[in-house]
Amino acid sequence: MDNWDEVRTAYQVARMGTVSGAAEVLGVHHATVIRHIDAIEARLGVKLFQRHARGYTPTEAGEDLLRVAQATEDQFNQLVGRMKGRGDDVSGELVVTSLASLAPLVVPTLSEFQKTHPELIVRYLTGDRLFRLEYGEAHVAIRAGAAPDQPDNVVQPFVSQEVGLYASKGYIDRRGKPTGIEDFANHAFVGNDDENSRAPFSQWLRTNAPAEAITFRCSNNFTGAEAVRAGAGIGFMARWEAARHPELEEVMDPLPEWSGKLWLVTHVDLHRTTKVQAFLTFLKEQAKDWLP
């Protein structure tokens, strides 16, 4: 195949399903897209698409082309991500990802690091999905839970995040503190809306509190902490976070099984680069002051 423009066009038509959609992605006229499709089908002697009123549907041959082109694009994205991380100085982009609930710790650290390296552009990506380091989506990931086991990643233990059970003073004034686990049925709790959450404290709460007592349910730890502070019920918070809010009180002694580990994850191709190593060293030093 000596005309990669036609391959790229066919890939986008298969991906988007319409000529107009492919034309928009490629930045060309729709007539160019049709010309490329006609040309590659003539060259290969096979139909890549079934034309219909709603758009273009890949044939079996078209599906084969889509798979190969997708793998090629992924490999190019991976290469670009690795190349962006190389270099002997700390400049360009630094992409760091973590859960949004860690932002109060991570953002000041990133800001201080950027002050030391003013040519650096920081991209801080948060969310529940795992950003793919192997495709260059991030240079450094801070992850919680069990040790990550994705291939080709360098995984380092970072810090343990101690977790406690808290309520606002307003809630305690209204309803008091539980006298023990056996008293949980007489209280209201803030919990995770995902019954399959793997967080140790979420599993513990669902095991030890009646389902009807978990009256305020949230999709992530950040909103859960807001609900606890607002007096919606008793809930779990990282102890470093609770220490920032004097209106909160711990309602029982913390249990070891509530706590979880944080991990630093980098891709093996970027781990030894100057930029990544400089940030990891700075991050580990800053983290010494994170926990109360």
pLDDT band of residue 105 (cuts 50, 70, 90) is very high
How do 214-218 and 235-238 pair as beta strands?
A: unpaired
What average pLDDT does the segment 78-95 reach? Answer: 67
Backbone angles phi, psi at 197, to 5 degrees: -55, 135
Q: Can you point out the beta strands (E) in the chain?
A: 49-52, 55-58, 92-98, 120-126, 140-144, 153-161, 163-168, 189-192, 214-218, 235-238, 248-250, 260-267
Give the pLDDT confidence of 31-71 residue by residue, as tens digits: 898 899 888 888 888 898 888 877 888 888 888 888 887 77
Residue 181 has pLDDT above 60, yes or no: yes
What the block records as the tokens of 213 is 């007592």
Of these ranges, 6-10, 100-104, 263-267, the one predicted with the greatest mean pLDDT is 263-267
- What pLDDT was estimated at residue 82? 54
pLDDT-derived band at 148 (thresholds 50, 70, 90) equals confident
Question: In whole angstroms, what is the distance from residue 229 CA to residue 252 CA?
Answer: 17
DSSP state of 247: T
Q: Is the pLDDT of residue 198 over 60?
A: yes
Q: What is the pLDDT of residue 83?
A: 54
Q: Which residues pair with 55 in a beta bridge?
A: 52
Cα separation, 156 vs 134, whole angstroms: 17
Q: Residue 5 — very low, low, confident or very high, per pLDDT cuts 50/70/90?
A: confident
> Of 248 and 220, which is predicted with more confidence?
248
Token digits for 118?
Answer: 């003013």
Average pLDDT along the chain: 88
Burial tier of 118 (Cβ tally within 10 Å: 0-12, 13-18, 19+)? exposed
**What's the rounded Cα separation, in Å, for the pair 166 and 195?**
21
Half-sphere exposure of 173 (CA within 13 A, CB side): 6
The pLDDT value given to residue 81: 58
- Higher-pLDDT residue of 30 and 283 is 283
Q: What values do phi and psi take at 91, rounded to 5?
A: -150, -175
